[in-house]
């Protein structure tokens, strides 16, 4: 069962005498505003350093939806690399065209990039798929996340390449990573479970990095809130169709009752990937016969999707 933090009128920071704003179950420490901010930023820097995610000369395309995770990501990376002349940042926002949802987050992304002075590219779905997501999904709403995911990855990759980026950084946090492991296990999808998207693939795919992978969703929200940057934004209307929403709820409940569950899942995935490394068959990478993009079969996922959508 959960080791609850001690109850006091106002807990103090473990590092100073200021009142605490957050409790970290992993370290069993209370932290004040200042130490929470520095702790999160130092852990992101550590993840980048230890996993060799960024090198001199990198031009990093930050996938900026305008939601909390990507907002925190751009904010932290811009602080970490502010004085580093040999690493540059750009931001890419994919506008799927989801009524009542995307407009506000795109505006938040524009405000943030303007404030930070980061080059910003907004890519509408219609430019890629001929229509916005709402139109593409009429009568097939349950496939929303699959359709959106395929097209969004393609839009992001194309825009990053066009902007001469060397890497794509996404705001996946600890919770997201644990959810992905759990979902891949539920689907029995071993190849996806052990796939290393950080390595890239020759000249075909840009490496994807996840600097927030060690930070929990709650820590990210707290990090933004204490800086006055946590905005309550609308939820994607298609979330209710997603397996991820159910997995999120299950894992969150397990994490509360059995702290460490999410980290254990991620560690399991890393162990499995390690065991499989030697046995992994080197997949042949072809070029899509229709668009020329790299793919494992004859036609890439995007072209297959375009066909199924009648385009």
Partner 1 sequence: MRIVLPDQTLRKVAHGPCSVNEVLLSLGINPLEVIVSRNGILVPEGTLVSADDEIRIIRIAHGG
Between CA 286 and CA 299 the distance in angstroms is: 9
**Among the listed residues 207, 230, 273, 294, the single contact to partner 1 using CB under 8 A:** 230
Q: Is the Cβ of residue 81 or residue 225 nearer to partner 1 in the bound state?
A: 225
- What is the separation, in whole angstroms, between the first and last Cα of the chain? 53
Q: Is the Cβ of residue 248 or residue 306 nearer to partner 1 in the bound state?
A: 248
Alpha carbon distances (Å) from 33 to 40, 52, 167, 212, 270: 11, 29, 31, 19, 33
Q: Per rule CB under 8 A, is residue 67 in the interface with partner 1?
A: yes
Q: Per rule CB under 8 A, is residue 309 in the interface with partner 1?
A: no
Q: Per rule CB under 8 A, is residue 11 in the interface with partner 1?
A: yes
The answer to whether 53 and 209 are in contact (CB under 8 A) is yes
Q: Per rule CB under 8 A, is residue 171 in the interface with partner 1?
A: no
Residue 201, Cβ neighbours under 10 Å: how many?
13
Q: Is the Cβ of residue 4 or residue 203 nearer to partner 1 in the bound state?
A: 4
Residues 234-273 that bind partner 1 (CB under 8 A): 235-236, 238-239, 242, 244-245, 248, 252-253, 255-256
Between CA 188 and CA 190 the distance in angstroms is: 6
**Among the listed residues 35, 37, 64, 65, the single contact to partner 1 using CB under 8 A:** 65
Between CA 226 and CA 184 the distance in angstroms is: 34
Query: Quick one: which segment of 114-122, 205-213, 216-224, 282-290 binds partner 1 (CB under 8 A)?
Result: 216-224
Q: Per rule CB under 8 A, is residue 23 in the interface with partner 1?
A: yes
Question: Which residues in 260-292 are b (16+ Cβ under 10 Å) and which e?
Answer: ebbbebbeebeeeeeeeeeeeeeeeeeebeeee
Q: Per rule CB under 8 A, is residue 217 in the interface with partner 1?
A: yes
Query: Quick one: which segment of 65-73, 197-205, 290-298, 301-309 binds partner 1 (CB under 8 A)?
Result: 65-73
Query: What phi, psi does 113 have (nearest 5°)?
Result: -65, -35
Q: Per rule CB under 8 A, is residue 1 in the interface with partner 1?
A: no
Min dist. Cβ of residue 4 to partner 1 (A):
7
Between CA 57 and CA 79 the distance in angstroms is: 17
Q: Per rule CB under 8 A, is residue 212 in the interface with partner 1?
A: no
The answer to whether 213 and 175 are in contact (CB under 8 A) is no
Helix runs in 15-101, H state only: 33-50, 68-80
Residues in contact with partner 1 by CB under 8 A are 4-11, 19-23, 30, 33, 65, 67-68, 101, 105, 175, 216-218, 220-222, 225-226, 230, 232-233, 235-236, 238-239, 242, 244-245, 248, 252-253, 255-256
């Amino acid at each position: 069962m959960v080791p609850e933090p001690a109850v006091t009128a106002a807990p103090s920071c473990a590092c100073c005498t200021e009142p605490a704003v957050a409790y970290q179950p992993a370290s069993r420490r209370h932290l004040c505003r200042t130490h929470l901010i520095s702790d999160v930023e130092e852990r992101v820097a550590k993840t980048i350093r230890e996993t060799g995610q960024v090198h001199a000369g990198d031009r990093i395309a930050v996938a900026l939806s305008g939601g909390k995770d990507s907002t925190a990501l751009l904010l932290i990376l811009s602080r970490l690399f502010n004085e580093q002349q040999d690493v540059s940042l750009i931001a890419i926002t994919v506008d799927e065209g989801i009524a009542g949802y995307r407009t506000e987050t795109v505006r938040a992304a524009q405000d943030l990039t303007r404030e930070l002075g980061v080059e910003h590219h907004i890519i509408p779905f219609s430019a890629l798929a001929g229509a916005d997501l709402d139109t593409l999904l009429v009568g097939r709403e349950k496939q929303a996340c699959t359709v959106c995911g395929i097209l969004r990855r393609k839009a992001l990759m194309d825009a990053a390449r066009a902007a001469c980026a060397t890497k794509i950084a996404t705001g996946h946090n600890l919770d997201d990573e644990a959810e992905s492991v759990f979902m891949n296990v539920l689907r029995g999808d071993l190849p996806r479970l052990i796939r290393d998207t950080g390595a890239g693939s020759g000249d075909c795919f840009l490496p994807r990095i996840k600097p927030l992978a060690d930070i929990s969703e709650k820590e990210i929200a707290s990090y933004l809130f204490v800086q006055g940057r946590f905005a309550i934004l609308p939820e994607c209307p298609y979330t209710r169709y997603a397996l991820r929403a159910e997995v999120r709820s299950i894992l969150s409940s397990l994490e509360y009752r059995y702290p460490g569950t999410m980290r254990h899942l991620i560690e399991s995935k890393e162990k499995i990937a390690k065991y499989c490394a030697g046995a992994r068959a080197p997949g042949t990478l072809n070029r899509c016969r229709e668009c020329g993009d790299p793919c494992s079969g004859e036609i890439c996922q995007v072209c297959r999707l375009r066909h199924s959508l009648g385009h």
